[in-house]
Amino acid sequence: MSATPGMQTYLRHLEQLKAEGHPLTTLPCPCCEQSIETAAAPPGEVWDTLTDCPHCEAVFLLITEGQRARGVRPS
């Protein structure tokens, strides 16, 4: 089974982050519970962005605080 275009983009992005030495963190998708890797925020910074899961394609708010990340489903 071939990867979806969204999964292909996600995997290319992860490869680039790893090649550049960026620290990563992992969180479960708030919709399907599959593991998602994302860039860790620098210490003391909080990042938030609207994103989609590469596994189930659900849209959610990604909040990254240093090495911690969590997803919030829109209500």
Mean predicted confidence (pLDDT) in 1-9: 85
pLDDT reported for residue 1: 55
Q: What is the pTM (predicted TM-score) of this model?
A: 0.89
Distances (CA, A) of 72 to 2, 3, 5, 12, 69: 28, 25, 23, 24, 10
Query: From CA 11, how far away is CA 65, in angstroms rounded?
Result: 22
Give the model's confidence band at 8: pLDDT under 50 very low, under 70 low, under 90 confident, else very high.
Answer: very high
Question: Percentage of residues in the chain with pLDDT exceeding 70?
Answer: 99
